[in-house]
Structure formats: structure tokens, C-alpha cells
Amino acid sequence: MVLERVKQLAQQVSNTVAPAHPFDPLSSLEIEAAVSILRAKHGKLYYNAVTLLEPPKAEMLKWLADPETTPRPRRVADIVVITTDGKVFDGNVDLTEGKVISWKETPNVQPLITMEDLNAVEEVMRKDPKVIEQCGLVGIPAEEMHKVYCDPWTIGYDERFGNGVRLQQALMYYRPHVDDSQYTFPLDFCPIYDANKREIIHIDVPKVRRPLSKLPANNYHVQSIEEMGGYRTDIKPINITQPEGVSFKIQNRILEWQNFSVHIGFNYREGIVLNNITYFDKNENKTRPLFYRLSLAEMVVPYGNPEHPHQRKHAFDLGEYGAGYMTNSLSLGCDCKGSIHYMDAEFVNRAGAAQTIKNAICIHEEDNGILFKHTDFRDDSIIVTRARKLIISQIFTAANYEYCVYWIFHQDGTIQLEIKLTGILNTYAMNPGEDTKGWGTEVYPGVNAHNHQHLFCLRIDPNIDGPKNTIFQVDAAQGPGEVGSAENFYGNAFYAKKTKYTNPIEAMADYEGSTSRSWDIANESKINPYSHKPVAYKLVSREVPPLLPKKDSLVWKRAGFARHAVHVTKYSDEQLHPAGRHVPQTSGEPSMGLPQWINANPQAKIDNEDIVLWHTFGLTHFPAPEDYPIMPAEPMSLLLRPRHFFLRNPALDVPPSYARTPSQIAAGKNGCNCKDKASVQV
Amino acid sequence: MVLERVKQLAQQVSNTVAPAHPFDPLSSLEIEAAVSILRAKHGKLYYNAVTLLEPPKAEMLKWLADPETTPRPRRVADIVVITTDGKVFDGNVDLTEGKVISWKETPNVQPLITMEDLNAVEEVMRKDPKVIEQCGLVGIPAEEMHKVYCDPWTIGYDERFGNGVRLQQALMYYRPHVDDSQYTFPLDFCPIYDANKREIIHIDVPKVRRPLSKLPANNYHVQSIEEMGGYRTDIKPINITQPEGVSFKIQNRILEWQNFSVHIGFNYREGIVLNNITYFDKNENKTRPLFYRLSLAEMVVPYGNPEHPHQRKHAFDLGEYGAGYMTNSLSLGCDCKGSIHYMDAEFVNRAGAAQTIKNAICIHEEDNGILFKHTDFRDDSIIVTRARKLIISQIFTAANYEYCVYWIFHQDGTIQLEIKLTGILNTYAMNPGEDTKGWGTEVYPGVNAHNHQHLFCLRIDPNIDGPKNTIFQVDAAQGPGEVGSAENFYGNAFYAKKTKYTNPIEAMADYEGSTSRSWDIANESKINPYSHKPVAYKLVSREVPPLLPKKDSLVWKRAGFARHAVHVTKYSDEQLHPAGRHVPQTSGEPSMGLPQWINANPQAKIDNEDIVLWHTFGLTHFPAPEDYPIMPAEPMSLLLRPRHFFLRNPALDVPPSYARTPSQIAAGKNGCNCKDKASVQV
């Protein structure tokens, strides 16, 4: 019966008219096929992840170079399960051949916490007698347990429990009314949940108790705004339309737009994955590779309150929960505006069935103001050209916070990553008059929002005119020679000081604001014929705080990737997750992921090699009342800009809105006209 | 006859139905009235500037507080002239009373170079025998002098000539065809022009000669793009419409939008000036002052090539040319898109007549993506609200470069200054195979684009709940206590370290990227009732390179404002121009403007006082071929964000696109609906 179903699914998969692109995420059918194959062999399992194992890069590069005659890389599912008795297995299933190709128990790890894992805690917590007792102590009667909520977080790492038991910590809240924002009513104790036993095994209770706030709610829902005087009525609609349609083409998951081509992948963990980004260069009359793969690979959100057990608040939202699993189903005109193309996301659930998040990815264009302009002051000759950008986006909700992720393509060849932070501050209870000691801010009476950082790790797998690339650190520097010297008489000399990274130890680098530090991802074997410099893309990133938790601290040990703004490693198919494959409950001893890989070969040659650049950026957030009860989106952004890559501005052939030359002016002719009929003067 | 005209104009001015707001720029009538009054007394003068002398702040604050009963501040014109024999006079004319109230010769200064001054040079240069001789030496025959062009720049400061003679340096170019971009054909010598004599008085000739390039042009005009394969044809229009009109109101020059009110001024020098910015706070049910005045007050563009005479390239585009005088007349749909409100700018010309730049200021709204969003993972309750921004912008052309200046207001109370750099690189000639020595980049064969910085000085005259404010430097800092200590056991403690500036010496501060340094502009006498911290606006600025020319260098001496990211001074009506009132040909001995003011009273009390915060920001530009022949716009941005200013997110009452509560979901009800009917799914 099971084997029957397996064969049937395999048949369905291979019958698909267009075979999947090797970078395509697993389809629902493929997920179910993988599960069926495993089920036939191993029976009942709890599925943590069934995702595409991307083909080995060497194989994939061959196929991309010549897809017609090269064998298509096989489809392989990368699988994590928890057995019914709580063991973790990692395995691979070859979907092309319909067989398990690896299967291994992985001891002493905890795979990430899925949405199902998260959703299981609240019900258990509400029924736990010790939790009910604690609720009573802070002023909540037992009959109000339905008003008690929790945001279940991974436990981070708690040395009392280690990683042998699968745990979550329940950050506790109360809602006077079901529609009230619970974050205004934080409770002061913290139950710990055992996911295998499905019970509360411990409660952390602070020495100083903080009874439930009796103050009014602080809400943002419609009724609350109506009660506070109602909504603004003076915002007139802005309509954005594309009557002739969009300027991009999508075939399967390959997007083409303004000379760019990119395969749009998605997985449960990183969310959007951009593969095989190329640019058609008119000058060279060829398609030039830029990046083999771009993704947000990890993040960590350390909180700055040293009081126990707040040190456990340092979520790895990607490695511990998954930016894919937590992604929103997006709505037209709410999340994105204009002419939108959506893509769905498909995941496995705990039971092994495929499930779909509709509209997980939004693809749309926006006007982007002026692309370039110049007026000649002497004759009024002019060109003004408007810019367009293309945005591939997702939004994921990590309990209280939302992360809006925008991968933005620009006509001048720039690729931008913008992240907007919104949602709700994580809050903790405080007594009237209590001193926050500077570790947090009282954003509303009785509500302490702790200081925290959002540190993201961008994984850049470059392919700048080929896979062999080199990273140069670039610092703006004063020239040699004092003022008055022959070489620098007026003292104005300055230049771009470039430092080549030759091994991963040299490449562990911090940001330096005083030199406007940036990093060139260069191909030393291809020289720009004009500037005589290697073709490159420059990483320009200005929101790069250091990890504030100290060296050898718990977070420092667990989040090795966040110790430096930049790490560089030699490419390896296995190295995707800079804090390790299984992040929850890692102790940081040893540090998983990046530090491990670098320690294994600290003198690896990384210049003119196939390399990966890991960039940690983000921001430090000291909350203020303006961030509450819901936070206005705070954007941050970084750029990958072509430098010495093109022979000239690659957007010169974007039609101008208006242009006229000196000879046209002299001849009394108009220039080419502005085409934007939708604009009006008021 | 003259007196007749004066009386007539004065009559016209006072007959104006709505009297000018005291912050309004001088109207054409007022400019002509001022000129007539002077002309009657002093005869023929060459007018350099006739602009509003803003009323003394003390007087103005009184009037703003109670405009009904307080006497209206008088209208005064601030005037700079050059006499027919080359003397400089500064004066004030009281337009209300129709009389000259001050008139004084200012020796040893040169007022800024007007567009008329700039335009005069090329014709003289072309006829100069020595220039013709030099052109011959680099390969341009005398009959081609009409193909020789120059960008006249202020001379900066040249110790050989001092400041007694009014000079410009002519950066030389050639155009094979009148429509060719001259910047591909730079000439290697540099004539110096005497504006009083109207002749070339000297030519700087380099030791190594660089003959005119014979290479093909590198153009961006329509015909050149057509010849290189034509324009892209795959960009579909994006129409942006506001069928119900805009959401702002403008009365005279006072703009009201989303609780903000701001008076929009404009002058020849700073361009846009924003006065009396206030915010209507619903919680307090009152209008709260934010900033008395915001403007770009100065900038400097030092070039990094130490070879003579390139040290002279360090334009102060505001103080030496004027962001108002150089401002573009903007076009609908080209420069700005949507429903646009324009304002004109009125200036004096050399002869003393008023002239108008139509559409000098653009005011429009844009959709700004998500303002805030939260989804509750447990029940799918949701709110998503879209943001709107209002933009007050101008674009000015400084010879080769364009600066697009966007003052952006956000619904969450944030004020953003965005600047986009576009236009054309300043270029110099180079021989085939010549080494740039790192001081520039060969962006096209024979074309050397020198390294440079764009350093802007933002003048912030705060009024955070009143004029008495204090600046705090804010650095993200690790908490005390080593890992394992009782106070910081897990090593995760961090906090916002705040340092109060009490005098201007302490307040000379640099940017520090490693602490994500920001600056709070606080009112210590008003405490946020929730957070118990002073109400404040935070300056968040991340593009803050130091001045790269060395200490005691020519640029360092002349551009005192650029020595630090931040200076703070006690307010003075006279202190508007941080590099001095008359900038051209200042030697920097002594340094004018900020260093002078600070030296005059280095221990001035600046906490809880009426103060001005001067912020220098910008970027360092190492050119690349992608920037040529015309540069894709490079944006940079800074924020003034309310922190502890409001009791809660001030944008909570912006109508959501979609919202539903847990109780609505439980009852099977829809939430409020998304109103953006213009969006479509493709």
C-alpha cells in the first residue's frame, strides 16, 4: 500500500511536464514523495524539515554552462526528523531514483522549533498546576488562565538543562480582553517546556516579584484607535498602476528584468534564496555571472539585560525557527502595492504532509526617482532619466517582531538588501518606580522593553565573472607626506587603500566607520580595460554594529558569525549555516558553523578561489515609547555595487524622461519628451 | 524719477493683500524695492545677493507665539554688492520703512560667484592669446577655439594671488562636436580669470604635458545611445495618480501634512530652508515645536590629487556658488512624479533686476511601503498599515555635478534628509599609460577622475519643545563586569552611554561606527512620563567620513566645519554660514565661521540653552568606469527621529490597509478591508 503510493508519487513527479529547475524548491509532490519513501522504510516520524538539497556546486556550474547536453543534477531532499522516541535523524532522499541515500542519527542536537512546536506550548502551559500557581501569585485567578498567553522561544542555551532534552522557554503575558495587546501585560516568571514530554518541567521565578499590571491596555487595534479620537481622515489615496503590465518576465522561477536574470528559491530556513544572478552586458554582448547564491543565512537577536534568565533571550530567528516557516502570506495592496507577482512556499508539516503558504514571495516594480540627470549650465542642454527598481520580498513574523526582507535590483547593476523591522517589542514586567538600570526602557508604565541587537548574517557566494574571486578590504586613507612636503604640499592627498585577504584569519574583519570601510569582491583575472583594476562588486554597508555581548559570553560563543563584520571562507557545499545546522540549545562549546570551519583550516587560500563572504550587519535598538505599542518600520540597507565591472554606466540605455542637446537647442528644436502623462501639477 | 519708483514699489509691497510671512523669501517686488532704495543712494552697483535677513530669533519667537497681538517683524533685505570699482559692500535695507539701515565696505573678501560670473569666463577665455597658444600646444588649432569650453570654478585659495583680486580658475575641456560630452576631452592647463578686469591673468601649465585625446567621444545623449544599439524597450510605464488630490495643504508657504507644519523658505545660498517645524500631538492636544530652522548650510568637495594646481579643487558649493542660484527649474514627471506642487524662487541679477526660477521647489507625496505590521502567529489576527511620505525637494547643478536634495517627512514623526549625487565626474587629462598614482581613476582612456569627498554641513537649529535644548552623544556600550561576574554573569549586558556636551570644545565630536554613535537633541526640562527620559530628537547619520585632507592643510583651514562630524554652538542670529559669510578666496588664516565662533567663546554654556547643532556628513568617492559618462544617482541619507518625545507611536491613527482582531476572527467576521483598489495580481 505504502510502496504503491511511493511509486505513484514518483510517477507523478517524473510526469511533470517541465522538469523542475535544479534550484527549484521541492514541490508539494516532491515533499510527499520524499516522506513516502522514508515512511516506507522507517514508519512514523515527526518531520522537522524536508527541503531541497541544492546540487553540488561543481556539478551545477557545469549544468548551468551547458544545460542541453550536461546531465540534469538529480533532485535530492534534505530531511530532518525527530523519531517518536525523540531521536534526531538527518538524511537525504534521492527523488530522481526514489531512494534514501543517507540516514544517520545525530546525537546531542535539537533541530529548529517549527510553528507547530511553538503552537503546542500555550495549551500545555495553561493547564500546568505550577504555572497556575505562579499566575495566582502575580494576581491572575485560576479561572482566568484562558487570558494567559505565552510566546514560546527556544531556550537559547541553559546550562542546567543542556541539549539532551528538547526545550522551549515560555515568555508569559496576559490579556485582559482577548483583543488587547498582551505585551503591555508581561508576567515575571518563565516556564520551561519539554517538547518531547509535552509538559512544563521548570519555572524560573525572579527574586523580586512583579505583580500583573492593572493599568489600562495600550492597543493598536481599530476599536482602540476609534476610542482615542479616531483615524486620520486627510490621507488621500495614491494609486499605482501599470496599464501595460510589468517589465519583468518570469519563467518557472527564473526572473528576467533589465538585463538581470535570477532564480528565485525559497527554503524553510533562509526564506528567499537568490541563485545564479547574472547580468547581460551589452558592451561585451554576453551574460556575465555576478553571484552564485545570495541569502540571509542566519541572525541573532541578543538582549542586553544581564539579569537571569534574560540572557537566554538571544534568538537565532533563522537557525532556530526558520525565516521560511515563519513567513507571512502576503496581501495585495497591503504588503505590496502595484502589479504584483506572487510565489507560494511549500513545506512539510510534522506529520509529513505538504502544506502551502500562499503568496509567500512578492515580486514587483517601483519607480525609484531619478536614475541620472545633468544640465549644462551654459546652454541648458539636459538629460533626466527616471529609475525603476525590482523588489523580491517576504515578511516573516518571529513571535513579537516582523522582519520585512526586500531584495532590490537596480538598473545601474546594484543589488540592494533592505530590511525593515516592525512588529512589537519584546517586553518584561517592571514594578512602579523600578530602576531599569539602563538595560531597558519603560515604554509604558510597568512595561520594560530590553535593549537588543538585530544582527543578520548575509551569505554572499560570489561569481564575479566566474567562481574564482578575491576579497579586498577598502579603506579611505590619507596620502603620505606631511603638509608642506614635496609630495603632499597642500595636504590634500587621499586614496583607496586596498588590503587583500589571503586566508580566513586575515579576513576576520570589523567595520571601520572612520575609513568608510567597504569590501570589494573582485575577479583578479579579469581587468577593467579602462581603469586597469579587477572587475568587482563592492559591499557597501553602514549599519554594522559589533556584537555587544562580550568575548567568551554565551552569545559570543553561540553566534560565532557575529564576532566580525566580515568572514571569508573557501567554498564548501556543506557550509550553508554559519551558526551550525542545528542551532537550538547549542552551548557554543565548541562554536558551530563559521568558527569551526575556519579553525579547521585557518590558512586556507582564499584569494583567487571559490569563496564565500559572510557579512554580519544590523542595528542596536534602545527602545523608546515611540516604538510602542507597535513599532514604526525601521529600515536598514546595504548595497552590492558594480565597481570596475562595467565599461560605463550600464543604465545609459534606459530611455530618458527628457533630453535635449546643445545642437537641438541652437536649432530651436524640442528634445525627446517626457512620457509620464500621469503626473499633474497642483 | 528714481524716488518716484521707490515710492511706487513700496506702495505695491504694502498693498499686497496678504502681508508676507516674516520667513517668506523676498518677493520680486521686495528685491526691486531694495535695489531701488540702494540705487537712489549709491547709484550703479553690481548685485551679488539681495535676500531676506531673517528676523532676530527672539523677536520671531514672540511673534510666532502670538502673531495676532505681537508686532510683525519688519522685512529686511540682506544685500551684497560689488561696486563698479570692485569694492565689496554689505548692507541691510529695511523694506518696511524703505531705508538703508546698514552699509559698510568689507575689505579683503570676495562674495560668491554667481551664474552670471560663471557664464562670463568662457567667452573671454576663448579670445585670450595665451589660452589660444596653450590650446595649440595640446593640439587644438586656433580656428577651433569655439570647440574649447571651460567650467569656471572659484579658485579656492591660491597663495600667489591672495584675495584682493576676484578670481576664477577655468577647468578646460574640448568638444569635437557641440553635442559631445566635454568631460571626455579635458585639457591639461588651467587659466586664471580676473573677474574685475574680465581677462585671463595667468595660466597654470603642468610640467608633464598631456595632448588632447583623439579617442572617440563617450556620450550619453540620445543619438549616441541609438548608435550603440538603442534604448531598452521593455520598461512598461508606472502611473502614479492621486485622483482625490494630495493630502497636504499649503497656505502661502506654510505646509501642513500629517500633523506637521513647516514654513518653506528658500535663499540663493542654502536653497531650501525649513522654518518653524512643528507637530500637532494628539496626546497632548497641542502643537509642539521641533525645529526652528533646518538647512544645508555649507558643503565642501575636496579632491585628493596632491599635484599642483589640483589642490585648488575643493569647491564650497553653497558658500562659493549658492545652492539657490544653481537650482534647476523642475519638470513634471521628469524630476518628480505624481501630484506636484511647485514653488518658484526669486533672486536679484547682477544689474539689480529680479529674476525668477520657475518650479525651483517640488512638493509631493509618495507611498512609502509598510508603516507597521504585526501578525499574531497563534490566531492570525493582524494589522498592516501603509506609510506615506512627503518630500520637499530641489536639484542644483554645480558645473559638472548635480545634487538632488530631498527633505522628507514621515508619519512616525521622523524627518529625513536624503541627497542624491548624479551628474558628471570632474575629469582631468592623462597620457596613455600614465600612472594615476592612486589619486584618481582612469574612467575612460585618457580621462582621469580624481578621488574626492562630498561633505555637507547640516545646520540644525532645534526647538525641541522649546528653544532650550541639550546635545547628548549616545554610544552603544558593553555593560561593566566580566563574563562570570555577578553583575554580568553571561556577559550580555549592554546599554546606551550618554555623554552630555556642556561647551563647544567638548562638543567637537567625530563619528564612531563601532558604537553606532548618534546624538540626542533633548529638552532636559521636559521628561517623558513613561520612559523618564528627556524628550528628544535623535540624529541618526551613518555616512560620516572624516575630512581626509590633513590637519593644517589648505582645505582643513578653510573648511573648519568639516573637521568634526558634530559641532555645537550657542545660538546667535549672525551665525548662519559655517565657513564664513564670504567664502571665495578665504585663506583659512584665520578659519572663518565655526572655528572662529567657537574660539571666541570656547567655554560657552551649551546645555539647556538655545543652541545650534552643525552636522557634517557625506561620502568619499573613488570613481569607477560605472560612474561615467554620467553617474547613476548615489543616495545618502540621515534621520532626525523622535525618541522619548511622544507617549506612543504617533502614527497609530494612520488608517490600516487591513486589520482584524482575535475576536473578529473567532466570530467569523472580516476585518477592515484593504482600500488599495489600484493593485493587481499578475
Which residues of chain A does B300 touch, with a Cβ-Cβ cutoff of 8 Å? none
Residue B441 lies in a domain: no
Q: According to the model, what pLDDT value does residue B14 have?
A: 58
Indicate the residue among A105, A129, A150 that finishes a domain. Answer: A105
Q: Measured between CB atoms, does A433 come within 8 Å of chain B?
A: no
Round the average pLDDT of chain B to a whole number and report it: 95
- Give DSSP secondary structure letters for A431-492: -TT---TTSEEEEETTEEEE-EEEEEEEEEEE-TTSSEEEEEEEEEEEPSS-TTSSTTTTS-
Task: Note down the domain range covering B61.
Answer: 2-104
Residue A12, pLDDT > 70, answer no
Query: Within the 108-147 window of chain B, which residues sit less than 8 Å (CB to CB) from chain A?
Result: 115, 118-119, 122
Residue A677 has pLDDT above 50, yes or no: no
**For residues A112 and A101, what is the distance between their CA atoms, to the nearest angstrom?**
23
For A622-641, the three-class secondary structure string (H helix, E strand, C coil) is CCCHHHCCCEEEEEEEEEEE
The verdict on whether A401 is a catalytic residue reads: yes
- Measured between beta carbons, the chain A residues lying within 8 angstroms of B556 are 491
Say whether pLDDT at B446 is over 60: yes
How many contacts (CB atoms, under 8 Å) link A and B?
A: 612
B459 in the same domain as B327: yes
Q: Which residue of chain B has the CA closest to A447?
A: B530
Whether pLDDT at B509 is above 70: yes
Whether the CB of A451 is below 8 Å from some CB of chain B: the reply is yes
- Please work out, in degrees rounded to the nearest 5, the angle formed at the alpha carbon of residue B272 by the alpha carbons of B266 and B273: 80
- Mutation target to probe the A interface, by most A beta carbons within 10 A, among B490, B497, B555, B620 is B490
Task: Clarify whether residues B172 and B253 are in a common domain.
Answer: no
Kindly state the average pLDDT of the residues B425-437: 97
Judging by DSSP bridges, how do beta strands B339-348 and A680-681 pair with one another? parallel
Q: Phi and psi of B127, rounded to 5°?
A: -95, -5
Q: Identity (one letter) of the amino acid at A88?
A: V
* pLDDT for position B677: 47
Q: From B610, B625, B643, give the residue that closes a domain.
A: B643
Q: Which three cell numbers stand for residue A248?
A: 519583468
Torsion of CA B435, B437, B439, B444, to 10 degrees: 20
Q: Does B591 touch chain A (CB under 8 A)?
A: no
Tell me the one-letter amino acid at B119. Answer: N
In a domain, B671, yes or no: no
Average pLDDT over residues A605-633: 98
Query: Nearest CA of chain B to the CA of A218: how many Å?
Result: 9
Q: Which three cell numbers stand for residue B648?
A: 506612543
% of chain B at pLDDT higher than 90: 93
Across the interface, whether the CB atoms of A258 and B243 are under 8 A apart is answered no
Whether residue A239 lies inside any domain: the answer is: no
B295 in any annotated domain: yes
Please give the residue of chain B at the shortest CA–CA distance from A123: B378
Q: Has residue A13 got a pLDDT over 90? A: no
Question: Contacts for B227-233 with beta carbons within 8 Å, 24 or more apart?
Answer: B228/A282, B228/A652, B228/A653, B229/A282, B229/A653, B230/A653, B231/A653, B231/A654, B231/A655, B232/A258, B232/A653, B232/A654, B232/A655
Please report which helix (H) or strand (E) contains residue B152, including its range: strand B148-154
Average pLDDT value for chain A: 95
Active-site option among B193, B268, B279, B401: B401
Q: Answer whether residue A194 is part of any domain.
A: no
Question: Would you say residue A115 has pLDDT above 90?
Answer: yes
Which residue, among A138, A152, A158, has the nearest Cα to A195 in the 3D structure? Answer: A152
Task: Dig out the grid coordinates for A334 from the structure.
Answer: 497591503
The residue of chain B with its CA nearest to that of A240 is B240
Amino acid at B632: P
Residues 271-310 of B with CB under 8 A from A: 282, 302-306, 308, 310
pLDDT at position A621 over 70: yes
Q: Is residue A162 part of a domain?
A: no
Write out pLDDT tens, residues A471-493. Answer: 999 999 999 999 999 999 999 99
Packing angle of the helix pair A129-138, A115-127 (nearest 10 deg): 70
Nearest CA of chain B to the CA of A345: how many Å? 17
Q: In this predicted model, what pLDDT tens digit does every residue of A378-403 receive, in sequence order?
A: 999 999 999 999 999 999 999 999 99
Tens digit of pLDDT for each residue in A527-553? Answer: 999 999 999 999 999 999 999 999 999
Q: How many residues does chain A have?
A: 682
Give A566: exposed, middle or buried? Use CB within 10 Å, 0-12, 13-18, 19+: buried
Is pLDDT above 70 for B38? yes
Give B333's pLDDT tier (boundaries 50, 70, 90).
Answer: confident
Domain of residue A51, CATH code: 3.10.450.40
Rounded to the nearest 5°, which phi and psi values hold at A239?
-100, 135
Rounded distance between C-alpha atoms, residue A115 and residue A268, angstroms:
11
B498's enclosing H/E stretch is strand B494-500
- pLDDT over 70 at A9, yes or no: no
pLDDT band at A8 (very low <50, low <70, confident <90, very high): low
Residues in B closer than 8 angstroms to A479, CB to CB, are: 304, 306, 438-439
Q: Which residues pair with B119 in a beta bridge?
A: none
Cell 573648511 found at? B559
Chain B residues with CB under 8 Å of A246 CB are 236, 682
pLDDT at B186 exceeding the cut of 80? yes
Report the alpha-carbon distance of residue B345 to residue B357 in Å, rounded: 5
Shared domain for B122 and B144, answered yes or no, is yes
- Reported as a single tens digit per residue, the pLDDT across A455-464 is 999 999 999 9
B491 and A674: CB-CB below 8 Å? Answer: no
- Extract the C-alpha cell encoding A595: 568558527
In 3D space, the residue among A124, A226, A206 whose CA is nearest the CA of residue A168 turns out to be: A124
Q: Is B448 on the interface with A (CB under 8 A)?
A: no
Taking residues B148-158, report their average pLDDT.
97
Pair (B86, B210) in one structural domain: no
Task: Note whether B319 and B298 are within 8 A (CB).
Answer: yes
Structural domains counted in chain A: 2
Contact B179 A223 (CB under 8 A): no
Q: A289-339 pLDDT, tens per residue?
A: 999 999 999 999 999 999 999 999 999 999 999 999 999 999 887 888 889
In this prediction, residue A19 carries a pLDDT of 82
Percentages helix, strand, coil for chain A (3-state, rounded to 5) are 15, 40, 45
Whether residue B368 is predicted with pLDDT greater than 50 in this model: the reply is: yes
Residue B223 lies in a domain: yes
Q: Are both B419 and B518 inside the same structural domain? A: yes
Q: Indicate if B151 and B260 belong to the same structural domain.
A: no
Give me the amino acid identity at B610: D
**Residues B158, B211 within the same domain:** yes
CATH number of the domain to which A553 belongs: 2.70.98.20
Q: What is the pLDDT of residue B18?
A: 64
In a domain, A259, yes or no: yes
B 397-426 residues with CB < 8 A to A: 397, 399-400, 402, 404, 410-414, 420, 422-424
Encode pLDDT of B256-307 as tens digits. 999 999 999 999 999 999 999 999 999 999 999 999 999 999 999 999 999 9
Question: What confidence category does residue A14 fall into, taking pLDDT thresholds of 50, 70 and 90?
Answer: low
What phi, psi does B373 have (nearest 5°)? Answer: -155, 145
Q: Do the Cβ atoms of B181 and B218 come closer than 8 Å?
A: yes
Query: Is pLDDT at A587 greater than 70 in this prediction?
Result: yes
Same domain, B142 and B188: yes
Out of A149, A157, A183, A401, the active site residue is A401
Tens of pLDDT, residue by residue over B600-611, are: 999 999 999 999
B401 flagged as catalytic: yes
* Cβ within 8 Å, pair A516-B545: yes
Dump strand ranges (E) for A320-400.
Answer: 339-348, 354-375, 382-398
Residue pair B371/B387 in contact (Cβ under 8 Å)? The answer is yes
Chain A residue nearest residue B236, CA to CA = A247
Torsion sign across C-alpha atoms B602, B608, B609, B611: positive
Cell of B570: 550657542
pLDDT, tens only, B452-465: 999 999 999 999 99
- pLDDT (0 to 100) of residue B146: 98
Residues B124 and B82 placed together within one structural domain of the fold: no
Return the percentage of chain A with pLDDT > 70, whole number. Answer: 96
pLDDT at B332: 83
